[in-house]
Amino acid sequence: MVGGLQVLPAAAARDPLSNLRPTNITSLEYYLYRWTGSYYNGTTKVRIEPRDIEDVNGRSCATAGRPVEFTLEKALLAVVKSNRYIEQQNDFTFSLAFWDESLGESPPAEAGYLPLEQIQYIDSVSWLNTVDVPVLDNDRSPPSWKLTTSHIGNASYSFTGARNASQPQLIGFNYTTCSSSVATAYVGSLLDPLSRDLVKAKTYPAVTGRFDGSSASMEIKAVALLKSMMPTSLHGMDLMYENVFAGQ
């Protein structure tokens, strides 16, 4: 993803262990800018490399696809303070939000049902908190991505990590089906070696990135299992999300 940095006003969270901002300090959509930290506008490039493609009856796909690459022009990377009510937290929390430009600059939180009709998220925690003190047990779960952070110099940092969680990381986009070259919506999740699915992953989803006071970049690589919403085909895919941001 490529883009620019947006540092929100330095309003401290009301609770020193929390990472939430007051609701009234900016005119931006609060559901996107809810947490104390830095926000980077940019784009998300997605590369898909099909692996195992079958129709719903288990037959090989006649339209077995070639690698596909496309760019979503709207993306927002949040690099924010972690909620310290949750144990085993990382030094920071990231949240990558991306959506089709047809939805505009700040689409509503629930814009639609299909992948290109809604904002998609990849977060370093399974449930990014919306209250200071988590109430439900799921909200207290350790981060789904384990991150290691390095200080490069001045206000510049790099990080690496992997996803190791039982909760699925949901994803979706348009792609061809077994019966047609016309793109249709697919939904699915990132896999890890422990996933009990038809498509096997040998490695955990991995993330690398860096950020400073003016820009950020992040890359996520993973194996995914996706199903056509038609439903006519099942795809195992190698995915890469490449993001470059500028500060806002």
**What are the average pLDDT values for consecutive 10-residue runs of the chain, which has 248 residues?**
50 73 74 91 86 60 65 91 88 91 76 68 84 70 91 94 77 66 73 76 92 94 77 58 56
Single-letter amino acid code for the residue at 23: T
Longest dimension (CA), the chain: 57
pLDDT at 64: 54
User: What is the rounded CA–CA span in Å between residue 43 and residue 187?
Assistant: 21
pLDDT at 229: 65
- Residue 148, token pair as written in the block: 């290691």
Residues present in the chain in total: 248
Domain that holds residue 122: 3-247
pTM: predicted TM-score of the whole model, two decimal places: 0.82
pLDDT at 80: 95
DSSP annotation of 12 reads P
The number of domains in the chain is 1
pLDDT at 39: 94
Residue 46: strand pairing partners = 241
Phi, psi of 24 (to 5 degrees): -120, 20
User: What is the rounded CA–CA span in Å between residue 101 and residue 80?
Assistant: 24
Single-letter amino acid code for the residue at 6: Q
